[in-house]
Amino acid sequence: MPPLRPGLILVALAALLALGTALWLERARRTDLPAVASDQIVIGGPFRMTDHTGRRVTDADFKGRPMLLYFGYTFCPDVCPTELATMIAALKALGAEGAAVRPVFATIDPARDTVGHLAQYVALFSPDLIGLTGTPEDAAAMAAAYRVYYAKREEAGAPPDSYLMDHSSFLYLVGADGRFRTVFRGGEGPEALANALRAELRT
């Protein structure tokens, strides 16, 4: 995410509000409060993508181990690389508990994040990091399922492929059963994330 501008702050607040509402609904569902009568999954759910090795995958392929999921794009100048490094460092700090968690990076910019490009990018962070891309429809559907806010930001006069993407920055923990567990705010640093993850993984 680039430096904040007034317009961006507004959309970020709107995104936060939407996510907050979704989280509240999810919590209500999990604790069986009467507010949500159905067992509808509010965050997460099925997806179809292509991983950084070119294999078509679905959410079913990720069951059996918890997943720590981040949405962003490889051309991101600052926030995405920082968060991915934080994710990997936090999992490493958790030792065996962290090694059980699968780190996943899903793109919100599939037009530029090709399989080959993604493969080079994830390797910069960890051999365990899985990159996900796909058709524009695949990527949009997955981001929508996780309530990710993103928008293309084109500067007048800039080359067409040099655009930035504004996007929300959260880390999603998905259980080994494939169900959304909780979300961590970005920008916290590896130690805070490791502590929050440890607490969540032990509940």
In the complex, which residues of this chain contact Ni ion (CB under 5 A)?
Answer: 72, 76, 79-80
Kindly state the tokens that stand for 89. Answer: 């460092």
Nearer Cβ to Ni ion (3/34):
3
Nearer Cβ to Ni ion (49/80):
80
What is the rounded CA–CA span in Å between residue 3 and residue 136? 26
| Residue nearest Ni ion (C-beta atom) | 76
CB of 76 to Ni ion, least distance (A): 3
CB of 84 to Ni ion, least distance (A): 9
CB of 106 to Ni ion, least distance (A): 12
**16-45: burial string, b at 16+ Cβ within 10 Å, e else:** eeebeebbebbeebeeeeeebeeeeebbbb
Nearer Cβ to Ni ion (110/178):
110
Contacts of 180 (CB under 8 A, 6+ apart): 26, 41, 42, 43, 44, 146, 172, 173, 174
Nearer Cβ to Ni ion (76/87):
76
CB of 166 to Ni ion, least distance (A): 9
